[in-house]
Amino acid sequence: MTCLYCDCFSGISGDMFLGALLDAGLPVETLSTQLKKLNLPEFQEAGKTKVFKGSLQATLLQMDIHQPAEDDQHHPHTHHRHYRDICQLIESSGLSEQVQQTSKKIFGKLAEAEARVHGSTIEEVHFHEVGAVDSILDIVGAAIGLEYFGVQQVFSSALPLGSGQVNTQHGLLPLPAPATMELIRMANAPVTGSKATSELVTPTGAAILSALAVFRQPEMKIQRVGIGAGQRDLEWPNILRVFIGEAGDDFCTHLEIETNIDDMNPQVYGHVITKLFQAGALDVFFTPIFMKKNRPATKISVIARKEDEQNISDLILRETSTLGVRVKPIWRHESGREFRNVETHYGIVPVKLKVSGDDILQAAPEFDRCVQLAEQNQVPVLQVLKEVEAQVTAHFKGQC
């Protein structure tokens, strides 16, 4: 799996992230060509230049943006847009479906944060700085770069918090900006202190990570390193480093989430298992155990994808009497699967095939469908299963 790790020791902004992708090998011509599919009349061309931040060389993003004369000259590159306007702009472009979805996911996080900060709704959110042309280009450009490198998962370090104040369309605001802090909170992102009295993490940079990143350093084989330059000069190199590579063989993609319960009405367990599967659990199982004072109890175990950790954990805490859950990383090795329909005398039955290459190792009929056909035809379910087995053997003779 191709992953990207952001080393945010000096923070992150949209242009720093995109500059780092350019430094890592994203062709600037490709970026320009793709961004022009947005049909933004203000956008002319994307460029880059090498600069020094302290003693380190980095790539600085350059955007050639022509501002219409009727725009407010006191706030260049600013065009007020609603969330729905930006979505329509992206959806009407010629960009790939993946780039569109990633871009809208990032803007969705921004809209949610802005709505909460200003006591509004997502539909009513009126973007200011984040609705500016350069911010739109940074976010969509980030999605273009991630698709170019085939990145499947973004990771990030902890985020340093600067202090001070910043001028915005909403007036003078404290740093980190309220929308930035809301995005950090929404992502449950770890933060670190910093002596900087300037903005290190911008709303655009925070939105990219809030929408896409897992906040930890993965085990990976690094194939590319990109260094993006920030606009300001600080006491240290104001850069963002990104590492792109392949996750190691022991890379964790799944989790086992479990808890022990000895004080809950047994009737609730059936409801809980239904809710867990609806929330994306891959498997749920109960184990009878004994706890303190020799009390009989039940251990609830859930196999889930890593990205579903928070939802699954919250659901268990909300729907059961437990006070906490345990989370363990696990690794899965899976066989291939195919689903096909098999014709029988009683009706069509879906069959799940376990495959390895061109070989079919096993075939399992959909049991609920077999029960349904048995009731409709007033025959034992074993008879339907036997018929399905015969048809599977005939249909896949020599393959399984």
Q: Is the residue at 361 inside a domain?
A: yes
pLDDT tens digits, one per residue of 28-45 = 999 999 999 998 888 888
Q: Which two tokens stand for residue 161?
A: 């918090």
pTM above 0.85, yes or no: no
Helix axes 14-24, 28-35, angle to 10 degrees: 130
Q: Is the residue at 278 inside a domain?
A: yes
Per mean pLDDT, which range of 289-298, 325-334, 391-400 is the poorest? 391-400
Residues 123 and 70 in one domain: yes
Nearest to 131 by CA among 179, 92, 189, 59: 179
134, 139, 206, 307, 352 from 170: Cα distances, Å: 18, 22, 19, 34, 57
Q: Decide if pLDDT at 58 tops 90.
A: yes
Residues 12 and 141 in one domain: yes
Q: Is the residue at 63 inside a domain?
A: yes
Total of domains in the chain: 3
Asked if 124 and 181 count as a contact pair (C-beta separation under 8 A), the reply is no
Per mean pLDDT, which range of 57-61, 64-68, 223-227, 370-374 is the poorest? 64-68
Query: pLDDT category, 64, cuts 50, 70, 90?
Result: confident
Residue 340 pLDDT? 85
Q: Is the residue at 112 inside a domain?
A: yes
pLDDT tens digits, one per residue of 304-326 = 988 889 999 999 999 999 999 99
Question: In the listed set 247, 272, 290, which residue is the last one of a domain according to the structure?
Answer: 247
Per mean pLDDT, which range of 113-127, 286-300, 343-357 is the poorest? 113-127
Cα pseudo-dihedral 182, 183, 187, 191, rounded to 10:
-80
Residues 139 and 262 in one domain: no
Residues 186 and 281 in one domain: no
Beta bridge mates, 283: 303
- Token pair 């847009």: residue: 81
Query: pLDDT category, 78, cuts 50, 70, 90?
Result: very low
Residues 12 and 132 in one domain: yes
Q: Is the residue at 25 inside a domain?
A: yes
Q: Is the residue at 400 inside a domain?
A: no
Instruction: Give the span between the Cα atoms of 283 and 312, in whole angstroms.
Output: 12
Q: Decide if pLDDT at 156 tops 80.
A: yes
Question: In the listed set 247, 270, 291, which residue is the last one of a domain according to the structure?
Answer: 247
Residue 379 pLDDT? 95
Residue 253 pLDDT? 73
Share of the chain above pLDDT 70, in %: 90
Q: Decide if pLDDT at 358 tops 60.
A: yes
Residues 100 and 159 in one domain: yes
Average pLDDT over residues 80-107: 88
Residue 77 pLDDT? 42
Q: Which two tokens stand for residue 38?
A: 């947005």
Q: Is the residue at 294 inside a domain?
A: yes
Residues 310 and 366 in one domain: no
Residues 209 and 60 in one domain: yes
Query: pLDDT category, 75, cuts 50, 70, 90?
Result: very low
Q: Decide if pLDDT at 48 tops 80.
A: yes
Residue 190 pLDDT? 92
Residues 104 and 133 in one domain: yes
Mean pLDDT, all residues of the chain: 86
Residues 304 and 352 in one domain: no
Domain around 267: 254-330
Where residue 353 sits, what CATH number does that domain have? 3.10.20.300
Where residue 307 sits, what CATH number does that domain have? 3.30.70.1380
Query: pLDDT category, 276, cuts 50, 70, 90?
Result: very high
Residues 285 and 355 in one domain: no
pLDDT tens digits, one per residue of 202-241 = 999 999 999 999 898 888 889 999 999 998 888 899 999 9
Question: In the listed set 300, 330, 360, which residue is the last one of a domain according to the structure?
Answer: 330
Q: Is the residue at 136 inside a domain?
A: yes
State the CB neighbour count (10 A cutoff) for residue 74.
6
Residues 263 and 235 in one domain: no
